[in-house]
Amino acid sequence: MITNIPTADELRLVSLRLFFKAWADTANIITEWAEYGEWATESQQEDEADSPAGWKQYIAAAQSDLQAIFTLIQQSQEIGLKASICEVSPFLLLKRTDVRPTEGEQNVWDFTDFPTLDASELIRVHNMFCSTTISKEFQFKYDEIRRGRNKISHLGIYRKSLEPLDIIDILQLHYSELYPGRRWMEDRLHFAALGKWVDFQFDSDFNERTGLFNELWHLIPELTDDQFKRLMGHERNEKRFVCHECGYDAGLGNAEPYVTDVPTAYLVSEDRVRCVICDVEYPVKHVTSCPVTECGCEWQSAQEGHIGLCMECGWAPEEWQESKRGQRDI
């Protein structure tokens, strides 16, 4: 008999952990530049500052980080494909069976001692046995990444320059191909919470939702229109609204980003918005115009706990009046 047989869920969990590690590291490279790039290029000559030169220098210096991300992605893709094959039968993953039994036992073998299929074989086996087929587009990317990863791992030399936004493209395609039926935002929150400190309680306002808001705040403006649509589920030019529930849960309000910096909801009908993070629809009420001067938003929350709050600037009309009065008194 064979012991230690992996399950599809177990392998998929490993693949997703690697995926979100790669995502977080890539997002970090983009958002750090968005946050500090301008400040870092201040001392450069006028025509260099704010030009692509600074970004190019930054990305050139980030190549070893990006290569490490590349190898994480390859590992995640390999294990993700193995998870789908394992769903049909874990034994399809075995390459050979000429393996010694477990030490001290007779007729007992450990699954993890067996050589498993080569990475280059996985898509062929997947498409033969699984009910879904891997697209040609992903197949092409997968092979390219696998070859690149081999160069990085075996020689440490990879001459192609890696761009973070290209990696976001790869990761978005990867997620839709390898984990169909899952919801990205929910997984992002879940895997962000599974760090080294998962079993510890902190008395802090920071949670995985705060982390996600921080990430989206600087990442969203850098994404292409296609990447935005894949991430947020609607077109970039569609009007976006605040999710008061998510903002409250993330503890936003005392410092940047404010909930209004990262609107995550959009209209789904005349009187409802849906938030892409919590995936909940909330009632809204149409008004002539937000009473707060520069906002002009025509929607207020009709959700219990947030009634009357503007869906764009987040203010409650009476609080705004109050703050105006306060300013006059000073």
User: Is residue 243 a contact residue for Zn ion (CB under 5 A)?
Assistant: yes
- 85 or 275, CB closer to Zn ion? 275
Extended beta strands in the chain, E state? 2-3, 109-110, 240-241, 265-269, 272-275, 281-286, 299-301
**What number of chain residues touch Zn ion (CB under 5 A)?**
12
H helices within 41-62, ranges in order?
52-61
- 8 or 295, CB closer to Zn ion? 295
- 133 or 321, CB closer to Zn ion? 321
Q: How far is the CB of 271 from Zn ion (least distance, A)?
A: 17
Q: How far is the CB of 160 from Zn ion (least distance, A)?
A: 39
Residue (of 130, 136, 166) closest to 148 by Cα position: 166
Query: Which of residues 246, 250, 259, 284 is near Zn ion by CB under 5 A?
Result: 246
Residue (of 4, 70, 23) closest to 211 by Cα position: 23
CA distance 225 to 207: 28
Q: How far is the CB of 195 from Zn ion (least distance, A)?
A: 22
Q: How far is the CB of 139 from Zn ion (least distance, A)?
A: 36
User: Is residue 242 a contact residue for Zn ion (CB under 5 A)?
Assistant: no
Q: How far is the CB of 294 from Zn ion (least distance, A)?
A: 8
The 10 Å CB-count burial string (b at 16+, else e) for 150-175 is eebeeeeebeeebebeebbbbbbbbb
Q: How far is the CB of 245 from Zn ion (least distance, A)?
A: 5
CA distance 172 to 231: 8
> What character string, x for contact with Zn ion (CB under 5 A) and - otherwise, covers 274-313?
-x-xx-----------x-x--x-x------------x-xx
Q: Which residues pair with 94 in a beta bridge?
A: 116
User: Is residue 259 a contact residue for Zn ion (CB under 5 A)?
Assistant: no
Query: Which helix (H) or strand (E) segment is 141 a member of?
Result: helix 136-154
> What character string, x for contact with Zn ion (CB under 5 A) and - otherwise, covers 192-231?
----------------------------------------
Instruction: Give the count of beta carbons closer than 10 Å to the beta carbon of residue 266.
Output: 17
Residues near Zn ion (CB under 5 A) are 243, 246, 275, 277-278, 290, 292, 295, 297, 310, 312-313
